[in-house]
């Protein structure tokens, strides 16, 4: 294939019968493969008509819809760079992303057009379109005037396809630059490793602004020519009901926890299903085991990152060619995927022995090109021999299974979303009356982990914990808001004066699970 545009590979996998159903929404709309082809052509032609400079970013903050997926595919088709933004982000967050990425085009909902366009025009964006989840908005209105035929723009494997913002270890969010080659190699590896079959049907119930829902799920279905059952939001009862005519499901652990709370989840309900995949956050062994008992299926857990897409996976096949063992082992994230090199290193840079704990480092065709306009940060995160330091801490056992035991990065993963304590602490510390704060993650039965804020006031301040949370709610995405806040006289410190977050975690660990 001479054109390495990811869209070409996805399009080439469409089934011969283009009139077959490609996507069926939970409210009964059906889109054929032909519809996807034509709609992506029209939106790609609209983007082409704007005569954007090479490498233009298309920043998108819209509710989940099939048209939002079409916009992603059209962006690839037009050779532009897709920049998805969580719909929970508020103006300060959007201001940073747009200011940093300088997108040529911004697409938002009509409801947010006022404030989003103001931010975008200030940052030099020339075009702001709207797209709503009821298929209205200026993007589709304008695209309707364009041809439904389009030749995908030529891209090299090393050209950028998407930028995903992620915070990594410290400081402001960094844009992870993923190439057409990164994404295609991962999609092809997973197609084989997870044994996708021609007649698979994927239940798509994840948001489409992060790696899991956008790449793993959408590419997985498209590169296999498989139909998707498209849910605009996750509702456990509806997912369980649709299992009767589906075969594959992907979810973060919270989705599995919530389905387990439904009496309708039974072996009978899941009998048509072939594969349940979990990732983005640690899957508790209790959830893994309970799922086995209730449905007869063994969840396949895998591990990945925004910077790398998928890195490891438990095996799918009983007679797998790749893994020495065929068992899906709860509590592990399986084996490095074919083509991925994974090693565990100590602080001294030496390889750890089997079973010993250290920092996980990876290399492979899926590993990103670097952080957008941050060459120093990029250099810091790679070793001199080209391995990416994941910030995850883990071990590899004698059979090759990888287990993640923690993170060296100060990060809370809540319901599959990343929350950076440093960001929340920064906002709290800026509040009048606050002297200092610490945000730590504690166990939570639904979200796996949630943030708890511990605040020290300046003398004379009467700020209440609820007011701290109220102020945060007005400024930050809702999933980042700590679920509890405590005003205390002092924070535990070590002899160097550093706040001992481990003691705070210990102190509050039973807050939601006791």
Query: Where does 102-155 have alpha helices with state H?
Result: 113-122, 138-143
* 389 is a site residue for ligand MCA (CB under 6 A): no
Q: Check: CB of residue 481 under 8 Å from CB of residue 413.
A: no
Shortest approach of ligand MCA to residue 216 CB, angstroms?
A: 6
Q: Which member of 132, 306, 314, 378 binds ligand AMP (CB under 6 A)?
A: 306
Name the residue whose CB lies closest to ligand AMP. Answer: 306
Compute the C-alpha angle 66/72/75, nearest 5°: 140
Shortest approach of ligand MCA to residue 52 CB, angstroms?
A: 27
Of 181 and 282, the one with the shorter C-beta distance to ligand AMP is: 282
* 314 is a site residue for ligand AMP (CB under 6 A): no
Shortest approach of ligand AMP to residue 167 CB, angstroms?
A: 8
Q: Look at residue 404 and give the partner it binds from ligand MCA, ligand AMP, none, a contact being a CB closer than 5 to 8 Å depending on partner kind.
A: ligand AMP
Of 101 and 309, the one with the shorter C-beta distance to ligand MCA is: 309
Q: Which member of 43, 305, 453, 476 binds ligand MCA (CB under 6 A)?
A: 305
* 306 is a site residue for ligand MCA (CB under 6 A): yes
In angstroms, the CA 498 to CA 286 distance is: 35
* 333 is a site residue for ligand AMP (CB under 6 A): yes
Q: Which residues contact 105 (CB under 8 A, 6 or more apart)?
A: 47, 50, 52, 56, 57, 58, 59, 80, 125, 126, 127, 128, 129
Q: Which stretch binds ligand AMP (CB under 6 A): 33-41, 72-80, 222-230, 384-392?
A: 384-392
* 390 is a site residue for ligand AMP (CB under 6 A): yes
Q: Check: CB of residue 501 under 8 Å from CB of residue 437.
A: no
Q: Which stretch binds ligand AMP (CB under 6 A): 26-34, 145-153, 277-285, 497-505?
A: 277-285
DSSP string, 206-251: S-SSSHIIIIIIHHHHHTTT-EEEE-SS--HHHHHHHGGG--EEEE
Q: Which of residues 53-112 bind ligand MCA (CB under 6 A)?
A: none
Compute the C-alpha angle 320/325/330, nearest 5°: 110
In angstroms, the CA 46 to CA 38 distance is: 12
Shortest approach of ligand AMP to residue 86 CB, angstroms?
A: 11
Q: Give the strands of the sheet with 309-313, arranged side by side.
A: 30-32, 21-25, 227-230, 201-204, 248-251, 275-278, 300-305, 309-313, 335-336
Q: Count residues contacting ligand AMP (CB under 6 A)?
A: 19
DSSP string, 243-287: GGG--EEEE-HHHHHHHHT-TT--TTTTTT--EEEE-SSPPPHHH
Site string for ligand MCA, 434-473 (x = CB under 6 A): -------------x--x-----------------------
With both helix axes pointing from N to C terminus, report the angle between 465-475 and 421-429 in degrees, rounded to the nearest 10.
110
In angstroms, the CA 214 to CA 230 distance is: 12
Compute the C-alpha angle 180/280/274, nearest 5°: 85
Phi first, then psi, for residue 303 (nearest 5°) are -135, 135
* 388 is a site residue for ligand MCA (CB under 6 A): no
* 166 is a site residue for ligand AMP (CB under 6 A): yes
Site string for ligand AMP, 414-433 (x = CB under 6 A): ----x---------------
In angstroms, the CA 339 to CA 336 distance is: 8
Q: Look at residue 213 and give the partner it binds from ligand MCA, ligand AMP, none, a contact being a CB closer than 5 to 8 Å depending on partner kind.
A: ligand MCA
DSSP string, 450-463: EEEEEEEEPTT---
Q: Which stretch binds ligand MCA (CB under 6 A): 135-143, 187-195, 367-375, 415-423?
A: 415-423
* 334 is a site residue for ligand AMP (CB under 6 A): no
In angstroms, the CA 404 to CA 314 distance is: 13
* 287 is a site residue for ligand MCA (CB under 6 A): no
Give Cα 477 to chain centroid, integer Å: 15
* 210 is a site residue for ligand MCA (CB under 6 A): yes
Name the residue whose CB lies closest to ligand MCA. Answer: 415
Of 160 and 269, the one with the shorter C-beta distance to ligand AMP is: 160
Query: Which residues are at the interface with ligand MCA (CB under 6 A)?
Result: 206-207, 210-213, 234, 252, 254, 279-280, 304-306, 414-417, 447, 450, 478-479
Query: Which residues are at the interface with ligand AMP (CB under 6 A)?
Result: 166, 211, 279-282, 301, 303-306, 333, 390-392, 404, 407, 413, 418
């Amino acid at each position: 294939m001479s054109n390495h545009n990811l869209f070409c590979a996805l399009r080439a996998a469409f089934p011969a019968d283009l009139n077959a159903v490609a996507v069926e929404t939970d409210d009964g709309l059906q889109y054929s493969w032909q519809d996807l082809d034509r709609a992506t052509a029209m939106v790609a032609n609209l983007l082409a008509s704007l005569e954007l400079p090479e490498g233009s970013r298309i920043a998108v903050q819209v509710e989940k819809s099939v048209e939002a997926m079409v916009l992603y595919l059209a962006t690839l088709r037009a050779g532009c760079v897709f920049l998805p933004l969580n719909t929970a982000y508020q103006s300060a967050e959007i201001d940073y992303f747009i200011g940093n990425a300088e997108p040529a085009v911004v697409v938002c909902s009509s409801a947010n057009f006022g404030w989003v366009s103001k931010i975008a025009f200030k940052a030099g964006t020339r075009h702001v379109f709207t797209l709503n989840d009821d298929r209205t908005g200026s993007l589709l209105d304008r695209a309707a005037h364009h041809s439904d035929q389009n030749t995908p723009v030529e891209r090299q494997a090393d050209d950028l396809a998407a930028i995903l913002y992620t915070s990594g270890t410290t400081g402001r969010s960094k844009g992870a630059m993923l190439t057409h080659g990164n994404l295609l190699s991962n999609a092809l590896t997973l197609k084989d490793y997870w044994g996708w079959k021609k007649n698979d049907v994927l239940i798509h119930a994840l948001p489409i602004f992060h790696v899991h829902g956008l790449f793993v799920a959408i590419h997985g279905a498209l590169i296999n020519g498989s139909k998707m059952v498209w849910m605009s939001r996750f509702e456990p009862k509806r997912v369980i009901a649709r299992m009767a005519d589906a075969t594959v499901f992907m979810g973060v652990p919270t989705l599995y926890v919530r389905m387990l709370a439904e009496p309708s989840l039974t072996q009978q309900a899941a009998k048509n299903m072939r594969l349940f995949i979990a990732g983005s956050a640690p899957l508790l062994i209790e959830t893994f085991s309970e799922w086995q008992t209730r449905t007869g299926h063994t969840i396949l857990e895998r591990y990945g990152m925004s910077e790398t897409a998928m890195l490891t996976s438990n095996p799918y096949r009983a007679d797998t060619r790749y893994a020495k063992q065929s068992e899906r082992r709860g509590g592990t994230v399986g084996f490095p995927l074919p083509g991925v090199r994974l090693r565990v290193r100590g602080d001294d840079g030496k390889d750890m022995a089997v079973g010993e704990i250290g920092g996980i480092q990876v290399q492979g065709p899926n590993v990103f090109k670097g952080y957008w306009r941050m060459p120093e940060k990029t250099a810091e995160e790679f070793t001199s021999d080209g391995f990416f330091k994941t910030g995850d801490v883990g071990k590899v056992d004698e059979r090759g299974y990888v287990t993640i035991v923690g993170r060296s990065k100060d990060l809370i993963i809540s319901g599959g979303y990343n929350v950076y304590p440093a960001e929340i602490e920064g906002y709290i510390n800026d509040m009048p009356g606050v002297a200092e704060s610490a945000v730590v993650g504690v166990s939570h039965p639904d979200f796996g982990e949630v943030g708890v804020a511990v605040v020290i006031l300046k003398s004379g301040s009467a700020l209440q914990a609820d007011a701290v949370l109220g102020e945060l709610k007005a400024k930050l995405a809702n999933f980042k808001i700590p679920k509890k806040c405590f005003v205390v006289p002092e924070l535990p410190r070590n002899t160097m004066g550093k706040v001992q977050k481990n003691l705070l975690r210990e102190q509050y660990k039973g807050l939601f699970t006791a």
